[in-house]
Amino acid sequence: MGMARAVETNVLVVDDSSVVRRLIKEHLEDYNYRVLLARDGAEALELYRSQDVHVVITDLEMPRMNGLELCWLIRADDDQHRTFTILMTTDADSQRRIEAFDAGADEFLIKPIDLPMLRARVRAGERITRTHRAMANLLNTDYLTGVMNRRHFMERLERAYDESVRHGAPLAVAMFDIDHFKTINDTHGHSNGDLALKRFAENSAALVPEGGFLGRLGGEEFGMVLPADDLAATIAQLERIRESTAALTAVRADGGCFGFTVSVGVCPTQGAESAVAVLARADEALYFAKRNGRNRTVV
Ligand code: GH3
Ligand code: MG
Ligand code: MG
Ligand code: MG
Ligand code: MG
């Protein structure tokens, strides 16, 4: 049977018939796909939201939530097209197909299912989602440091801010700016400046608390969003990042070493009118951290 896959492909099979579910599951598992099963759209949607699903194969007629609704809801969630959807039905009517594609389905298959044909469609889906995922990754990632880029950070910040307001769960936004970075470039060269940025990003990424995220805003400026139910604890986390930054060593290609420091400005989201306003206030706090001698955290 098929060879083991280097990258696992998760396939969600949705059908109210246990016979169809088992048939497709056993067939795909023989070809080393990881198969998840759901009996209707509602069950499928729950699995879809909790797992990273590459391909959905769904029946059309099902109780509770049918295949068309499921396709609609997945497409509404999945604006980067990370998931490929295949709709199955016994009805070959062309109006049905039009509805399926308008609901966001990528493929349409008539039952009884021709299993090798289904597998060929799954392979096509794998190719497409792999490309979309690679593109989304490029679109969202800072090339030098591998953390979120500014565009993606701002998008995530807006979303996190809205959720925080909705659920009354306070967040804080921190801005980091490496101190005297121009001097680092001038002293050690631009490529070692880049090295300092990478060292800072990897160290900080490892210290992002659960529920938080880090991005590069530009140049030697980074942003972080952190949960802040307890602002003092959040500030202590940021202080740990600042202190561990000062303890980092960057090793140049010629073996020489250098260190650097970072200044931090932080602002809690509570009481702020927008995500952008919180970031602007964190930037003001950062300005005071610089004015007061750098290598410090200011709220
Ligand atoms: P301060 O302590 O006040 O922040 O001073 P600074 O020198 O860090 O700040 P300034 O804004 O004067 O200089 C930032 C420098 O960062 C200038 C720019 O050439 C450099 N820079 C911006 N992006 C990059 C990059 O991707 N790589 C490297 N090596 N340098 C960069
Ligand atoms: Mg059915
Ligand atoms: Mg700067
Ligand atoms: Mg500056
Ligand atoms: Mg700087």
- CA dihedral (108, 114, 115, 119) in degrees, to 10, reads -40
Among protein residues, the one with the nearest Cα to ligand 1's atom 15 is 182
Among protein residues, the one with the nearest Cα to ligand 1's atom 26 is 219
Indicate whether residue 182 lines ligand 1 (CB < 6 A): yes
Q: How far is the CA of 177 from the centre of ligand 3 (A)?
A: 5
pLDDT, one tens digit per residue, over 4-58 is: 566 789 999 999 999 999 999 999 999 999 999 999 999 999 999 999 999 999 9
Report, as an integer, the average pLDDT of 252-280: 95
Nearest atom within ligand 1 for CA of residue 181: 8
How high does pLDDT run on average in the chain?
Answer: 95
Report the alpha-carbon angle 255-258-261, nearest 5.
Answer: 155
pLDDT over 90, % of the chain: 93
Q: Is the pLDDT of residue 127 over 80?
A: yes
> Assign residue 187 a region: left if phi > 0, alpha if psi is -120 to 50, beta otherwise?
alpha
Indicate whether residue 178 lines ligand 1 (CB < 6 A): yes
Indicate whether residue 179 lines ligand 1 (CB < 6 A): yes
Q: Is the pLDDT of residue 86 over 80?
A: yes
**Measured between alpha carbons, how far is 156 from 54 in angstroms, rounded to an integer?**
22
Q: How far is the CA of 247 from the centre of ligand 4 (A)?
A: 22
Specify the amino acid at residue 14. V
Give the model's pLDDT for residue 284.
Answer: 98
Indicate whether residue 290 lines ligand 1 (CB < 6 A): yes
Backbone angles phi, psi at 259, to 5 degrees: -120, 175
For the beta carbon of residue 271, count every other beta carbon within 10 angstroms. Answer: 9
ipTM value for the complex:
0.95
Q: How far is the CA of 293 from the centre of ligand 5 (A)?
A: 12
Q: Out of 83-97, 163-177, 278-292, pick the least confident.
A: 83-97
**Measured between alpha carbons, how far is 28 from 6 in angstroms, rounded to an integer?**
16
Q: 113 with 104: CB under 8 angstroms?
A: no
**Measured between alpha carbons, how far is 53 from 125 in angstroms, rounded to an integer?**
11
Q: 208 with 224: CB under 8 angstroms?
A: yes
* Residues annotated as part of the active site: 220
Q: Is the pLDDT of residue 198 over 90?
A: yes
pLDDT, one tens digit per residue, over 51-75 is: 999 999 999 999 999 999 999 999 9
The distance from CA 210 to its chain's CA centroid, rounded to whole angstroms, is 14
Helix H or strand E segment including 221: strand 221-227
Return the best residue to mutate from 144, 147, 182 for the ligand 1 pocket (most ligand atoms within 8 A of CB): 182
